[in-house]
Structure 1
Amino acid sequence: MPKPADSGSRVLICDLDGTLLAVNSFKVWVLYWLFWGWLRPGFFLAWSRPIVLRLIGQLNRWEMKVALLDSYCAFESQLPDVLRRGFPRFVFLFRRRRLCRVLLGYPYQFQTRILATAAPRLYADAVARSFGIKAVVASDRERGVWVETMGEEKWRTVRSLWEGNGSMPECCLVTDHYEDLPLSMRCRVTMLVRPNKITLQRFEEAGITPLEWPQGIRRFLEDSIE
């Protein structure tokens, strides 16, 4: 994973699902391979099973996610390369165009940009490249166990990017969900993208006053360089 710039740089941290993308990329990924999986019957059966088990209540959300990730890894080499490479390009079509143009279109604003997502690294790195982002925090397998980068785990993983590379600089966060509160608490300024009522309530309870897209974008950019 590319390391961020030195600790004196301005850092933009962006969530993916619901923020840079208007959709949940993992759900789109699941449907994408349900649609194309029939090309490899063995994969299609392995891919469908945890989804069915989740629908009938035999698996919880995380158990289903792990089963799907394991199934994909087991069959990845057998899946058509054009489809594997095609998913990041496909999901990129659901980007919030105006938000991406404002935040990512001016490289001088932020010397370092990080995609911090709970989406799996299996496709997150490629999606990040579509946005022109090199540093990625994503759910990954560690010592044979899948670790989901949500909440405190996302914050710890972001912080680890600066280990041995100076102290962590002041960061600016863009997200849509209260699950990123642990990260927001350590950031200079936070902007919420189409948050729901629960998210707004959780931020208020935490004593954080975030800016909101699109009204707060000018203030967000000004606060990031003060």
Structure 2
Amino acid sequence: MKIRVLVVDLDGTLYATNTFRQFIKYVWIRSIMNVDIILSFQLLFLIIMRLIRIIGHAELKFYFLSFIANRSYIDKSDFVSSLCIYKRNIMVLQSQKYNLKVLATAAPEIYSRIIAKEQGFDVCIATKNPNLRYHKEYENSKENKKENVLSYLKTKGLDSVDLLITDHVDDLPLIKISKRNIIVNPNIRFEKMLQALEIDYKVANYG
């Protein structure tokens, strides 16, 4: 039986929100509720460092996840439940046509894996928990995301993506190698870029 691969993005695609920003808010509130003053100040410091552009988005993610490690009061399942209002009904996920379904995201795996399991994905490829020092390949985004997806497919004896669903230009490396693409709520600039590259795609509009 031929294995057909479906790859779906998370933020702005499967969910109509940036889940990582929602997670920062969730953890911030929980740190205050649990009078975790150290973590509260660490998070505030990180946010300020990001706002004044001393650190990038990927570095923010790395240090944020480092700081919240071993905080037992942070309930990832409860956080995922809080996101239900943002969940989109992407009909192709119910299709039997695709027998390997991959959730591929730059969001942290500590909650993305829970989402993947609940939504019936076979695997979740996401940003892993921090290990040692920060490095530019840390975040599962852009070219890194493409390489990580291809590396996983290789372990299954596969070498291609049959359908990619995403909303973000950061997924252009994956878009270029996918046989078919569905772009969620693209802006004009994104569409012009795809057209200039002569990439075939369909548009899915969600509210």
1:79 matched to 2:75? The reply is: no
Pairing partner for 2:92 from 103, 113, 118:
103
Residue type at the aligned position of 1:95: K
Q: 1:90-169 to 2 correspondence within 5 Å?
A: 90-97=82-89, 99=90, 102-106=91-95, 108-141=96-129, 144-145=132-133, 147-169=138-160
Matches of 1:52 and 1:203, distance apart in 2: 35
1:205 matched to 2:201? The reply is: no
Q: Which deviates more from structure 2 when the two are superposed, residues 45-54 or residues 152-161?
A: 45-54
TM-score by length of 2: 0.87
Cα distance per residue 1:179-221 (max 9 Å; x no partner): 1111111111000010112211221222102101159xxxxxx
Residue type at the aligned position of 1:80: Y
- In the alignment, structure 1 segments of 5+ residues that lack a partner are 1-5, 216-226
Pairing partner for 2:30 from 7, 29, 36:
36
Percent identity for Structure 1 against Structure 2: 25
Per the alignment, in what secondary structure is the counterpart of residue 185 of structure 1? helix
Matches of 1:52 and 1:79, distance apart in 2: 25
Distance 1:171 1:42, change over 3 A: same
Matches of 1:149 and 1:171, distance apart in 2: 20
Q: CA RMSD in A?
A: 2.1
Contact kept? 2:104, 2:124, Cα under 8 Å: yes
Contact kept? 2:6, 2:161, Cα under 8 Å: no
Distance 1:145 1:103, change over 3 A: farther
CA deviation after TM superposition for structure 1 residue 43, in Å: 2.0
Q: Which deviates more from structure 2 when the two are superposed, residues 56-65 or residues 86-95?
A: 56-65
Residue type at the aligned position of 2:73: P
Matches of 1:172 and 1:110, distance apart in 2: 9
The aligned residue for residue 50 of structure 1 is: 46
CA deviation after TM superposition for structure 1 residue 156, in Å: 0.6
Residue type at the aligned position of 1:88: V
Corresponding pairs, count: 201
Distance 1:111 1:48, change over 3 A: same
CA deviation after TM superposition for structure 1 residue 164, in Å: 4.1
Per the alignment, in what secondary structure is the counterpart of residue 183 of structure 2? strand
Residue type at the aligned position of 1:158: V
Per the alignment, in what secondary structure is the counterpart of residue 78 of structure 1? coil
The aligned residue for residue 19 of structure 1 is: 13
CA deviation after TM superposition for structure 1 residue 34, in Å: 1.6
Q: 1:181-200 to 2 correspondence within 5 Å?
A: 181-200=172-191
TM-score by length of 1: 0.80
**Runs of 4+ residues deviating >6 angstroms:** none
Residue type at the aligned position of 1:45: F
Contact kept? 1:13, 1:173, Cα under 8 Å: yes
